[in-house]
Amino acid sequence: MRLCWEGGPPPMPEPAPIDTLLLCGFLGSGKTTRINQLIRAGRLRNALFLINDFGTLNIDAEWIDAREDGVLRLNNGCACCGISGNLSAQLTEIRRWPGPPECLVLEASGVARPRPLMQLFDAARGYRLGRADTLVDLSAIRSLLDDDAVGDIVHDQLRDVGHILVSRYHAMPGGAADAALERIKAINPHARVDWLPPVAPPCRRQVSRRAMPSWPDFARLAKPASSIVSRTVHLDAPVDIERLESLLDAARVLLLRAKGMLRSHDAPADMLAVQWTAGELRLSPLPSARHQALVLIGKGEPGLDALVTCLETAVVNQNREK
């Protein structure tokens, strides 16, 4: 039997529950980009963004006012912090803040299934689930669904929610985008699918409009469970950096890292250190270096050899032709 309040003053009214937006989606699906969009749009007031993706709190610097005890105070009245291990304890604590947020945006971990989290916020004292979205990188969704290690999680992330937000479809051939969308609809025919507008990449360098050579289909050369091999390419001429980045990005399915020292075609007098990880090419001055070389590390010999050939013929030698 429940104990009821009998006599005495009535209990204090419970504060309004914190309206919660869940953002789910696999690693790289664009959750952080979405959070920055929401901050920029300015429609959320007194919101707390809670990030649980094991990565940097990657909030655009222009919005950050202050950083205190792991909480970023944003200049639009919102705040942002990371989940520190124990979500249960953190939700209890947030609810008890002297000025609790009106709205919570939870960026779920990339392996979180939405359904338990939706139920958590439906039931937890002091919270109310407003909406649950799953973000999808359309260009990657089919390979993720077919991945033995994570396919079941990605499937559930699509199945559980009412809204699916699709991004990174712009460079896909029409047929591929349609096929990917069909896979999604087969898993969750009832979800509303919204197409997110393209996001301008963070401009580290001028984005080129130049046409790039058509690179080999590295996906066909990549073999699962291939051993890791490395190749060292000695360069005897400056490099076309845009072509290099285009080539390395095209080979991302099998290329793990590239690093080395080279001269750029644009400024051949300066030696640069180059570091490439999937989707990011970083260059920094390296005046002490003398020789140009690039180390490529990836999975499987056929793919890496094809990459070396392209590098030698289309990225380095093409400079000499000019």
Q: Does 280 bind other proteins (CB under 8 A)?
A: no
Q: Does 124 bind other proteins (CB under 8 A)?
A: yes
Q: Does 64 bind other proteins (CB under 8 A)?
A: no
- Span of 22-30, 184-192, 266-274, 281-289 interacting with other proteins by CB under 8 A: 22-30
Smaller CB separation from other proteins, 89 or 267 = 89
Q: Does 49 bind other proteins (CB under 8 A)?
A: no
Q: Does 26 bind other proteins (CB under 8 A)?
A: yes
Among 39, 57, 72, 138, contact with other proteins (rule: CB under 8 A):
57
CA 170, 176, 180, 181 torsion-angle sign? positive
- Span of 97-105, 110-118, 204-212, 304-312 interacting with other proteins by CB under 8 A: 110-118
Q: Which of residues 125-184 bind other proteins (CB under 8 A)?
A: 125, 149-150, 152-153
- Span of 12-20, 122-130, 187-195, 307-315 interacting with other proteins by CB under 8 A: 122-130
Smaller CB separation from other proteins, 28 or 302 = 28
Q: Does 252 bind other proteins (CB under 8 A)?
A: no
Among 252, 297, 312, 319, contact with other proteins (rule: CB under 8 A):
297
Q: Does 207 bind other proteins (CB under 8 A)?
A: no
Q: Does 27 bind other proteins (CB under 8 A)?
A: yes
Judged by CB under 8 A, how many residues of this single chain contact other proteins? 41
Smaller CB separation from other proteins, 88 or 208 = 88
Q: How many CB atoms neighbour CB 161 within 10 A? A: 25
Interacting residue ranges for other proteins, rule: CB under 8 A: 1-2, 26-28, 54-57, 82, 84-89, 91-92, 95, 109-111, 115-117, 119-120, 122-125, 149-150, 152-153, 228, 230, 256-257, 259, 297
